Amino acid sequence: MTFNVLLVGAGEINFGSVEGPWNHSRRLESKLGKSLRVVGLVDPDQSRAAAALEGKLASEVAPAYVSCRAFSTVSEAAAALSDDLLPQLAVVGAPPFARGSDLSGKDLELQLTSAFPGCALFVEKPVSSGPVDGCWRVAAELDKRRTLVGVGYMLRYSKAVQMMKQIIKENNLVVMGTNARYVMAYEWARKLSWWNKDSSGGPIVEQATHFCDLSRYFGGDVVLPSVSAHIVSHDEAPGALSAKRFDETAIPPEKRLPRLTSATWKYAGGAVGALTHVIALHGATYDTEFEVYADGYRLKLIDPYGSTPVLSVRRPGVAGEEMHTFPDDDPFYSELSTIIDAIREPNSGARSSILSSYEDAVKTYELTWQIRRAGEK
């Protein structure tokens, strides 16, 4: 039995790149195998869409793409796809400026649910780059239409993260605090738009969003007025970077990225959260860790983005650290697999297995903006 998918965006999110692990089409192919039928690819850049499809049609997964047509807009796709070509899942890998709003041209989710009312959505993070109040209106509309939605905070699906959750549950722990540390290797980050916070949203909104989301996943809702942050700006002595591979003078000074952001906040349940994001390392290897504290316990997640994440556990009555490794875990596959299972078996309870709802993702987006604004003050 075929499973119809509409891909929105012909770039790196859906088709991969040499720089990172994102490649939703590859995970769809792995999950669905011969049942996958990609019915359409929406991208205003038709040359990019044609190149992406050409690559697939020249590969061993060609049968999944023989029915695929390229469209410039969702409305074009809606006019062409009907009956047995209606998508069951739309994978929204378009840039955040095109979604998360109810304003025309920035409302991809609402366009898709209007065009294909029975279609589930898988939306990449962050949910938008626009105002948070627009995201809340989208969330309300998606809820009203009862649209099945998952958002791409893949670290929630990590086996290491789920083991942390299991340890907390089994030992009836109350989280005391979270501490996220994200140190970026910037030498090969050459896209000028990424270094412009008007374009990218900045390093907290665009990049540290995964760690802000993990913080909320363990700590709960954040008391937003409690957020405090300090930054090292580009024009301060500690903010000088020696290994940039581009000319930053092309970006207006007021739009350049902070080099370091240090933030703290209070959770509604009483715990405290902390985040440090740094643009500092040379080469290509990042340094990332995430810790959770509770009475008697320290859970440390090391290199969650890597091919072999490590979980270090300190617990009562055990000398030293207890180390767990998770080789070849693929949370990208797990998150897409989860939403596909929920579509295929709507009455099985699989819907509750989706770990990042749209509304919850908006709360993470809200936190990232609160941190950015607190730092800019």
CATH code, domain carrying 287 = 3.30.360.10
Question: 104, 121, 147 — which closes off a domain?
Answer: 147
Question: 111, 130, 147 — which closes off a domain?
Answer: 147
Domain assignment of residue 215, yes or no: yes
Q: Which two tokens stand for residue 128?
A: 């938008």
Residues 160 and 287 in one domain: yes
Residues 167 and 298 in one domain: yes
Q: What is the mean pLDDT of the chain?
A: 96
pLDDT of residue 75 exceeding 90, the answer is yes
Please tell me the predicted confidence (pLDDT) of residue 319.
87
Q: How far apart are CA 253 and CA 233, in angstroms?
A: 10
Domain assignment of residue 142, yes or no: yes
Using an 8 Å Cβ cutoff, are 323 and 311 in contact?
yes
pLDDT of residue 336 exceeding 90, the answer is yes
Confidence of residue 20 (pLDDT cuts 50, 70, 90): confident
Q: Which stretches of 10-87 are DSSP H helices?
A: 12-15, 24-32, 46-57, 74-80
Q: Which residue has the higher pLDDT, 22 or 18?
A: 22
Q: Which stretches of 68-224 are DSSP H helices?
A: 74-80, 108-115, 132-144, 159-170, 197-200, 203-206, 209-219
Residues 165 and 192 in one domain: yes
Helical axes 132-144 vs 358-376, angle rounded to 10°: 170
The alpha carbon dihedral of 46, 19, 277, 312 has a sign of: positive
Residues 272 and 293 in one domain: yes
Please tell me the predicted confidence (pLDDT) of residue 19.
64
Q: Which two tokens stand for residue 230?
A: 């300090």
The mean pLDDT value for 112-116 works out to 98
The CA distances from residue 231 to 200, 260, 265, 283, 375, in Å, are: 18, 5, 15, 23, 6
pLDDT of residue 375 exceeding 80, the answer is yes
Q: Which of 89, 211, 73 is nearest to 149 (CA)?
A: 89
Task: Give SS3 for 364.
Answer: helix
pLDDT of residue 350 exceeding 80, the answer is no
Task: Give SS3 for 103.
Answer: coil
The mean pLDDT value for 343-352 works out to 82
Residues 192 and 57 in one domain: no
The mean pLDDT value for 333-343 works out to 96
Please tell me the predicted confidence (pLDDT) of residue 21.
84
Domain count, the chain: 2
Q: Which two tokens stand for residue 304?
A: 């969650």
Please tell me the predicted confidence (pLDDT) of residue 116.
98
The mean pLDDT value for 347-375 works out to 93
Confidence of residue 18 (pLDDT cuts 50, 70, 90): low
Residue with tokens 């044609």: 50
- How many C-beta atoms surround the C-beta of residue 94 within 10 A? 21
Q: How far apart are CA 132 and CA 367, in angstroms?
A: 10
Residues 82 and 205 in one domain: no
Range of the domain at 184: 155-327+363-376
DSSP-assigned letters across all residues of 199-262: HH--HHHHTTHHHHHHHHHHH-SB-GGG-EEEEE-TTSGGG--S--SS-GGGS-GGGBPPSEEE
Q: Which of 275, 169, 297 is nearest to 216 (CA)?
A: 275
pLDDT of residue 102 exceeding 70, the answer is yes
Residue with tokens 């072999």: 308
Q: Which two tokens stand for residue 26?
A: 């590859």
Q: Which residue has the higher pLDDT, 228 or 352?
A: 228
The alpha carbon dihedral of 360, 365, 371, 374 has a sign of: negative
Amino acid, res. 114: S
Please tell me the predicted confidence (pLDDT) of residue 352.
86
Question: 147, 163, 192 — which closes off a domain?
Answer: 147
Q: Are strands 89-92 and 3-8 parallel, antiparallel or unpaired?
A: parallel
Residues 179 and 306 in one domain: yes
Residues 121 and 170 in one domain: no
Q: How far apart are CA 350 and CA 343, in angstroms?
A: 8
Predicted confidence (pLDDT) per residue in 280-333, tens digit? 999 989 999 999 999 999 999 999 998 899 999 999 998 889 999 999 899 999
Q: Which of 299, 55, 39 is nearest to 165 (CA)?
A: 299
Using an 8 Å Cβ cutoff, are 280 and 186 in contact?
yes
Amino acid, res. 236: E
pLDDT of residue 210 exceeding 80, the answer is yes
The mean pLDDT value for 167-174 works out to 98
Using an 8 Å Cβ cutoff, are 5 and 37 in contact?
yes
